[in-house]
């Protein structure tokens, strides 16, 4: 097991001036559940359930995901993203000696497609490069964001079921599959 960095990097936050990054609190729970549901909306559209059944299913999936993240990434940074005091997303980071794992990044639908996700990723990549670290993320094979990661130079290095492990190295040396 690799050791965790002694200090999380903070300067990536300064590279995205339109966003405030703050630690998640219990008061964010309903927002985070709504954000999670928004990322699964398209997937559930054809499912013949009532809105209430979908809401309950998504809440149970959100709760399971939270438990998984807290168990496997207990020492990660769990950040809420805000713009002008309004919550617009989340960013979960797990810093290691030689890799920055993006555990999760998600934006509300109104904040998607305007380059903000790319700006955040590029700031994280710059920070990782300055520390000599790679950046990695698991991405579902059907996630539209996969194209963004590929354009930014992330390469497919492993698979875990329906998830691809994508990795970026400043020198482009990630092992492609």
Give per-residue pLDDT as tens, 35-90.
Answer: 999 999 999 999 999 999 999 999 999 999 999 999 999 999 999 999 999 999 99
Average pLDDT in the chain: 91
Interval 22-37: pLDDT, tens: 999 999 999 999 999 9
89-145: pLDDT as tens digits: 999 999 988 999 999 999 999 999 999 999 999 999 999 999 899 999 999 998 989
Would you list the DSSP string of the chain?
A: -PPBPSS---GGGGG-TT-EEEE--GGGHHHHHHHHHHHHHHHHTTS---HHHHHHHHHHHHHHHHHHHHHHSTTSEEEEEEETTEEEEEEEEEEBSSEEEEEEEEE-GGGTTSSHHHHHHHHHHHHHHHTT-EEEEEEETT-THHHHHHHTT-EEEEEETTEEEEEE-TTS-----
pTM above 0.95, yes or no: no
Q: Which CATH architecture fits 11-168?
A: 3-Layer(aba) Sandwich (3.40)
Q: Would you kindly state where each structural domain of the chain is located, as residue ranges?
A: 11-168
Check residue 176 and give its pLDDT.
Answer: 42
Predicted local distance difference test score (pLDDT) of residue 134? 96
Q: What is the pLDDT of residue 13?
A: 84
pLDDT at residue 11, rounded to an integer: 78
The yes-or-no verdict on residue 175 having pLDDT over 50 is no
Give the pLDDT confidence score for residue 171 in this predicted structure: 85
pLDDT at 12 (0 to 100): 86
């Amino acid at each position: 097991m690799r050791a965790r960095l002694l200090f999380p990097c903070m300067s990536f936050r300064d590279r995205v001036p339109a966003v405030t990054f703050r630690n998640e609190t219990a008061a964010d729970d309903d927002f985070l559940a709504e954000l999670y549901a928004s990322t699964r909306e398209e997937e559930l559209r054809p499912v013949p359930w009532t809105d209430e059944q979908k809401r309950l299913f998504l809440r149970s999936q959100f709760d399971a995901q939270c438990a998984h993240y807290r168990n496997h990434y207990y020492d990660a940074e769990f950040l809420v993203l805000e713009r002008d005091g309004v919550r617009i997303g989340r960013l979960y980071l797990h810093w290691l000696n030689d890799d920055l794992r993006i555990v999760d990044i998600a934006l509300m639908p109104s904040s998607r497609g305007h380059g903000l996700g790319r700006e955040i990723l590029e700031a994280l990549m710059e920070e990782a490069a300055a520390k000599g670290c790679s950046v990695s993320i698991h991405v579902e094979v059907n996630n539209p964001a996969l194209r963004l990661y590929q354009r930014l130079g992330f390469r497919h290095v492993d698979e875990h079921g329906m998830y691809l492990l994508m990795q970026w190295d400043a020198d482009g040396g990630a092992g492609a599959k």
